[in-house]
């Protein structure tokens, strides 16, 4: 008997993909690269905006007392005092007549001076207790609270 001829294997040839398929693949890769780049830029921008917002966010700043010169005069003189105050006289004693206080209050010219508790806002008179030096320079400051200077 005759041997049958072996069946020949089918011959396959690889054909290159059409041009439109390559173009689609390249466009898809470009789109993915652009989207990835935009996302990373957006992430960086978001981080920058968060850092700016953190810097601009109000922080609790310590407050300190400051003095604003409200009135400067030479005795005898007066001033309208209607706020927390401090008086300076270059170390010279002073006699003060406050609204609501009977009589005169002596100010030593040095150290911390506290006004009488029954003092009322209004016209305050200043005179020198020293008969040899009737003219004392008086500076009346308003006490205010301001943010402490930064580092």
The domains of the chain are located at: 21-55, 63-147
Comparing 126 with 20, the larger pLDDT belongs to: 126
Q: Tell me, what's the pLDDT at 128?
A: 92
User: 63-147 in CATH: which number?
Assistant: 2.60.120
Other beta carbons within 10 angstroms of residue 77's beta carbon come to 17
**138 vs 124: CA distance, rounded Å:** 12
> What 8-state DSSP symbol labels residue 132?
T
What whole-number distance in Å separates Cα of residue 136 and Cα of residue 45? 64
Classify 13 in phi/psi space as left (phi over 0), alpha (psi -120 to 50) or beta.
Answer: beta
Comparing 128 with 51, which gets the higher pLDDT?
128
- pLDDT of residue 69 exceeding 90: yes
């Amino acid at each position: 008997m005759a041997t049958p001829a072996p069946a020949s294997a089918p011959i396959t040839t690889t054909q290159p993909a059409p041009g439109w398929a390559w173009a689609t693949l390249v466009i898809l890769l470009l789109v993915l690269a652009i989207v990835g780049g935009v996302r990373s830029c957006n992430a960086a921008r978001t981080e920058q905006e968060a850092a700016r917002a953190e810097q601009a966010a109000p922080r609790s700043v310590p407050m300190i007392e400051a003095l604003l010169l409200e009135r400067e005069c030479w005795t005898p003189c007066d001033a309208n005092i209607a706020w927390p105050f401090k008086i300076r006289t270059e170390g010279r004693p002073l006699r003060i007549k406050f609204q609501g206080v009977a009589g005169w209050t002596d100010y030593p010219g040095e150290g911390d001076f506290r006004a009488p508790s029954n003092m009322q806002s209004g016209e305050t008179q200043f005179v020198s207790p020293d008969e040899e030096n009737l003219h004392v320079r008086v500076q009346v400051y308003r006490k205010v609270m301001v943010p402490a200077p930064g580092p």
